[in-house]
Amino acid sequence: MDMGCCGCFGFSFAKKQKKNLRPRVEGGNHVLQGLLLNHEVVEEEEEDDDEEEEEDNNSYCDNMTDNERGDHEEFVNPSKNSQEILVYRTENGLICREFPVKETYKVVRSEDENGNKMVNEYRRECKIGSGSYGKVVLYRSQVDGKHYAIKAFHKSHLLKLRVAPSETAMTDVLREVLIMKMLNHPNIVNLIEVINDPDTDHFYMVLEYVEGKWVLEGAGPPGGLGENVARRYLRDIVSGLIYLHSHNIVHGDIKPDNLLITATGTVKIADFSVSQVFEDENDMLRRSPGTPVFTAPECCLGKSYHGKTADIWAVGVTLYCMIFGQYPFLGDTLQDTYDKIVNDILCLPEDMNTLLKNLIEGLLCKDPMQRMTLEAVASHSWVVGEDGPIPEYLCWCRRNKLQREQSVGSQTNIISHIN
């Protein structure tokens, strides 16, 4: 059952470029394709949480030199790392949601009368995803009767799994939680509750359950989803990403696997496990932790790049996949794929929709300075179609800001009138 919420967990590359592009990775075709497309190879976990075996303490930084570790830390730790920024925003009420995420500090694990496992009010139904950090399980609340997708982790495992010289997987998970605590948008998966009992090893993220997701292989009619469906999906993706970027958040891994589709056809962006937050518009990064075939050319060269423009490239690759049912640049190896992303010319059919061709070329412009902006995409003729420009979303923090400005303006007018 390949559906539900947040099926991908934080997987990233940490090998340093020896030349202009990333190094070749040796291995069988199955492993190479898994790395290129970021489809993780994981062993099936036991259904009984208590019988799950912890993975050995390991790190993808084990074989890195000191310089390579420094490069990786530059990605994980921008000038002021995401954790510091997120904690500051949280402590100062700078979050964009009217109602805060519920926080529960007690875990009660039990069974119902039919032997189904329970976590607090939630009754387990089935596993719907897994990754390198944990798993995702479908639960039904016994309070409101709704389904929820719950990410389940073992804290001891997260603390042993080192992702950088000074950071563990727990850092990634806590950053993801802090980011999702800030967000509230119709095109972003909503975090409902965090369950973290200090007296147990269990840690849970209770997420809005999204019924399905669009997977590239075999999706829709031959060749892709068709222009009408692709346009509708793209509008939702762009709306959600504009919201993230306006809050100085770079997603870092936009791709079909992280774009979930509701029963009514609404797209919701999921999986913030490699996302980064910035204090201001300076979104410079050094390392790209996303999926290789969705990686922007500037990210393949081992130089600093703007995270937001890299997100936009990934949107372009996603649109290409939706239209043609394949990837624009895919080689037999990692090195070959990065070579193609950097050097190959984008080939589009001569007889395709002229407006759509212009849009894809703008999104997949290899020069990040010339690449189309999200605002330009939102008002592009192909995107507008018969529905008009993508509506501007007035988020919670902007509504508050406008209300404060109006209040100050009213007070000023009253004082002026009195004087």
- Residues marked active site are found at 253
CB within 8 A of 339, min separation 6: which ones? 21, 331
φ, ψ for residue 341 (rounded to 5)?
-60, -40
Minimal CA–CA distance to 101: which of 6, 171, 196? 196
Following CA atoms 248, 250, 256, 257 in sequence, which dihedral angle do they give, to the nearest 10 degrees? Answer: -110
Residue 13 near residue 288, CB atoms below 8 Å: yes
Residue 184 near residue 396, CB atoms below 8 Å: yes
Following CA atoms 333, 216, 298, 41 in sequence, which dihedral angle do they give, to the nearest 10 degrees? Answer: -50
Packed helices 354-363 and 307-324: angle between N→C axes, nearest 10 degrees = 140
Three-state secondary structure call for residue 320: helix
Residue 180 near residue 191, CB atoms below 8 Å: yes
d(CA 419, CA 409): 15
Q: How many CB atoms lie within 10 A of CB 101?
A: 20
d(CA 298, CA 229): 30
Three-state secondary structure call for residue 108: coil
Q: Which tokens go with 39? A: 């489809």
Three-state secondary structure call for residue 411: helix
Q: Determine if residue 18 is labeled as part of a ligand binding site.
A: no
d(CA 64, CA 16): 8
Residue 217 near residue 163, CB atoms below 8 Å: no
199: exposed, middle or buried (Cβ count in 10 Å: 0-12, 13-18, 19+): exposed
Measured distance between the N- and C-terminal CA atoms of the chain, rounded to whole angstroms? 70
Residue for token digits 């501007």?
392
Which residues participate in the annotated binding site?
Answer: 151
Which residues participate in the annotated binding site for ATP?
Answer: 151
